[in-house]
Structures are given as C-alpha cells and as structure tokens.
Amino acid sequence: MGRREHISYILSKGVIMNNLAKQLVLGSVVAFMSFGLGGCGGAAVSPEHQKQVDEHAQMLTQVGMFAQGSGINTLNYTLGFPIPVNSVVFYEDINSRQLAFSYNDKRYYLRNNPRYSKTNMDQMLDRYFGTKKVDLSKFTPEEQKNIKANKAVVGMSKEAVILAIGYPPAHVTPDWKSMDDWKYWKFQRGYAQDTIIYHFKDNKLASIED
C-alpha cells in the first residue's frame, strides 16, 4: 500500500468510526427516551385511573408526602419539601413507573418502587390520591395541627402519623397496623442514607429513634 493509499485508508476508517460513534450516541438517546416514555397509556393502570389522568383530574392527597426537588419516591423519604394531606393536585401524565402531577403550579413525579412499597401503580394511586377530603375531625386539635404540618409527634395515633408523613416502606414494615416499630428512610444521596424509627405503644407514638 502506497503512502497516499495508506492516508486514504486511515481517513476512511476515521469517518467510519465517527459515524459509528454517532450511531451509538443516537441509540443511547433513543433507549433513554424509550425508558422514560415506555409504558405510557392504558396498560399502566386501570381504565378508571387512566381516564382521570387523561382528563387531568383534580385530586386530593390522602397522605402527607415529601419531595426531593421534583421527585417523590414510594420508599418514602421523610425529608424534603412537604405536601400535606388534603392538598389539591392535578394529574398530568402517567407511565408504568411514575405519575406526574402538579401542585401549586409545579410539576412533581411520584415514582413507585414496588420492591419497597409492595404496591402496583393502581394501588399507589389509591393510597396517595382521592376525590374526597380526608376527614380530620376525629383527631385531636394537636394531631390535626401536626398532620397539616407533616410532623409525627409523640402522642399521635398510628393513623395520624400515616396522614402526616405517609406509609412506612412495606419491605421493613409490612403490617403497620399490627407492628409497633416503623422504619422510615430520612434521605439518600448516593450511598449515604439515614433512617428514623418510630416506636408505638397502645396505638400511640411513644418515642422516636433518630
């Protein structure tokens, strides 16, 4: 192979490699988009729930929750921006992994993690949202104040704590009604994480292990 032919060969290989790199990048983008949008439509949830999403239905939160940025995880991190029970929200979009909803003109994404929540998407929606307000009149004035502030305080009943901060992750607290030790994750950043345990006695929050 002469020098000229050798240079042409190298240049052609460079073009091929450049085109291959472009194809790989494009493929990665398509795969990412497919992951983000996959599962959209009626297959993700029941027809009733899908209709509510399609109509951008106005809903009311049935438990308190916490957002880290725009994300909310059913593992239920108990630190972040609080969204209290009975807050007005609007369904925006849904797929097989998460629900997008708006609250106070900001979009949030509630991601279901069935490994920890032990719920499917329909069960998650029923747990977090409803068309009617949760009746708080059966709770003491102090409990009502803490529920609305997304705070779990010693002396509150189990149900009041649920409404204040949401359900404990089911993989470690599978039956919150019968179990007296509830474990929550406060946050997780990379591999750094922290937990908090609520100890109940006679259906009342007796102590908090932080």
Look at residue 170 and tell me whether its pLDDT is greater than 60.
yes
Of the candidates 34, 40, 166, which has an alpha carbon nearest to the alpha carbon of residue 98? 40
Instruction: With H, G, I as helix, E, B as strand and everything else as coil, classify residue 197.
Output: strand
pLDDT digits (tens, 9 = 90+) for 24-78: 333 333 333 333 433 333 358 999 999 999 999 999 999 999 999 999 999 888 8
pTM given for the model: 0.77
In terms of Cα–Cα distance, which of 73, 64, 61, 86 is closest to 160? 64
80 confidence band (pLDDT: 50, 70, 90): very high
